[in-house]
Chain A
Amino acid sequence: MNNGWYVLNYHDISWEENPFISRIGGSFPPDVFAEHLEHLSKAGTLVSVQEGIEATKNGPVNDVLISFWFDDGFKGVRKYAKPILDHHNVTAAMSINSSFLLRKDMFWRCKLSFLDYLDQTRILRSRLKKYGFKFGEQVRLFTLDNFSLEIVEEINQLYATYVSGEFAHDAFRIFDTLSGMQMLQESGWLITNHSANHYPIGEASSIGLLQTEFETCEQEVSEHMRFSSEYCVLPFDRVSKRSPDLFKTFAEAFPEKYLVLVSETLNKSLDDKLIHRFGPPQMDGKDLVKYLSYLGSNA
């Protein structure tokens, strides 16, 4: 692998992948994550995100440094990933969404996943027609490509028809709690801002919500715990769909903060206040190292 700072972006690490997640993916079982770490620890030096930032700020990185960043605040990260990382003496970063952490609203993509499990995608398709949905398109992609708060409201209404009361509250168990985040913070983990509701605020459809979403997350979480994150983690970050105004909008709104992306490239300098991450595909540890070597060599 080429020298530089590699940041790997995971979501949930858990034995469980229930219908709220199974259609959107992104989970790794603990044994697979442990195997990833075994191979990565031989390919480079595992460092905390803070150490990686310092090393990259201070000049060219003459080593392969590897850090871990988990998005969305899933409970499995603290329960299963942390002990594995502790075994390798490394901490990580966790980006959180205030709505999920504070149990205000379920992640809209999880609602979609569960609706599909209940075979209600067929109802959603007919409701999305007025937004331009055509037969043959995928709801999963359409709702991102044509994102709007009105579409989110359609999903919310259908979800509320089928999921309510105690079951709806129990569904939040996949996300960690405030006390969980505080435990991670006390263990030296970096807790960062992933916006309030995980909308695609880096894309043209909702770039106008970028500032509000990050500010709301910071404000809501700060009411309950020490949380003033220098790092704003962009939800979704589909590179080809980024708004041309993304970097300008972010720099104007948060001139002192770093924007954290999923650019599939390694970090050689942080002068532009951008942190780039890799999203590991579903593969074993050996292939993951080869994958990172290939991407790193093309950086």
Chain B
Amino acid sequence: MWPYEIAPKQVPLEDAKNGTIIIITAGGYRHQRFALRLMEAFGDRVVAWYQVTYPSLSHKDKLGKVKRLIERKAAGSGAGFFNTFLRYQKLFGLRRVIRNGLAPIFSAYANFRHHRRIDEGDREVFGFEMDHLLPKGHLTPEKVGFDEVNSEPFIEKLKAHNAYFLCTLGGPLYKKGVLESVKGATINQHAGHSPDYKGSSTTEWALFQRNYDQVSSTVHISLTGADSGPIIRRSNPAMARTDSSYKIFSRVVALGTEMMIEAVEEIIEKGSITVFDQAPDAGRTYTSLDFDHQLYFGVQKDFSSGLYQDLLAKRKEF
């Protein structure tokens, strides 16, 4: 679907008829599904698939990460944390301080649980089609480190393909060199309702705010800002009563992939695409630092209490 509230404009993209495609993804199940689905749709037009990798952390590094998260939430160093604890205990009482003091630990747990459940949701939703998709993948991904993906050598590697499209799902923010390494367009799919929800965990934020009309997927031309480029398509996923928030997220991703395929097909067929410019100051960009236990547990509570199912039914009572 096109965004209703933004005026359209036509962007010419000539010489796309024989254009080839490079894919860059992160390494999750849904990213694999994205790449396979594009290879199924476009066959040999897909000439390369790069998978962004992150270093695996030792136990010591993981504990350090949790400690830094707690200290950041507690606003200070380890010593500062305990000084803050003693000061507030005197002012507000032990119970409140324990609850607030444990919040960073809950947030760290929520982060861990959230990422685990995303993977579970992907496997539940995409499991039925992977047997069919796997044989369509004529490429295996070439790994590239997250700290290399914006480097000059990698950009030169991308340019050497002489491709027309760069299609991305996941990974870090791509710099101008990467975005301009293809002759035509770099297109990204974002699991959120641009411009209102940009950045990270945007499906969860829309669910948390019970803004179900803005649980969306957006396909857009990539700019250096997060999820901020001209929108090509934006629409809502099918949401069922029996869903978990993670299945909804996986469907948002699936919808985005289908819209991306439509967008590339349209550019190839017409040599142009209708886009919708996002106002630069519209909406909000959520970061990973905004994700905390209140968001995680708040969303889960809506599902477990039946409120999600009730609100979904209520949409039809107009």
Contact = CB atoms under 8 A, between A and B. Distances in A.
Interface of A: 14-20, 22-25, 27-32, 34-35, 38, 79, 83-84, 87, 112, 116-118, 121, 138-140, 166-167, 170-171, 173, 282-284
Given A139-B318, A170-B2, 4 more contacts: A18-B1, A23-B316, A29-B237, A118-B4
B258 A32 contact: no
- Centre residue among B129, B241, B274 by max chain A CB count within 10 A: B129
B129 A34 contact: yes
Contact of B238 (A14, A118, A140): A14
Contact of A16 (B124, B236, B274): B236
Contact of B128 (A35, A117, A140, A283): A35
24 contacts: A15-B238, A15-B258, A17-B237, A17-B238, A20-B1, A27-B238, A28-B238, A29-B125, A31-B124, A31-B126, A31-B129, A31-B247, A35-B128, A112-B318, A117-B213, A139-B318, A140-B316, A140-B318, A166-B8, A166-B274, A170-B2, A171-B1, A282-B242, A283-B241
Tier of interface size on chain B: 20 to 34
A16 B255 contact: yes
Contact of B125 (A31, A38, A121, A282): A31
B36 interface: no
B235 interface: yes
B240 A18 contact: no
Interface string B254-267: 11001000000000
B221 to A, nearest CB: 18
B231 to A, nearest CB: 13
Nearest to A32: B240
Contacts of A32: 240, 242
Contacts of B236: 16-19, 22
B281 interface: no
Contacts of A170: 1-2
A173 B258 contact: no
- Centre residue among B124, B213, B238, B258 by max chain A CB count within 10 A: B238
A283 B238 contact: no
B61 interface: no
A282 B241 contact: yes
B315 A167 contact: no
Q: Which 3 A-B pairs have the closest CB atoms?
A: A34-B128, A17-B238, A29-B238
Nearest to B248: A29
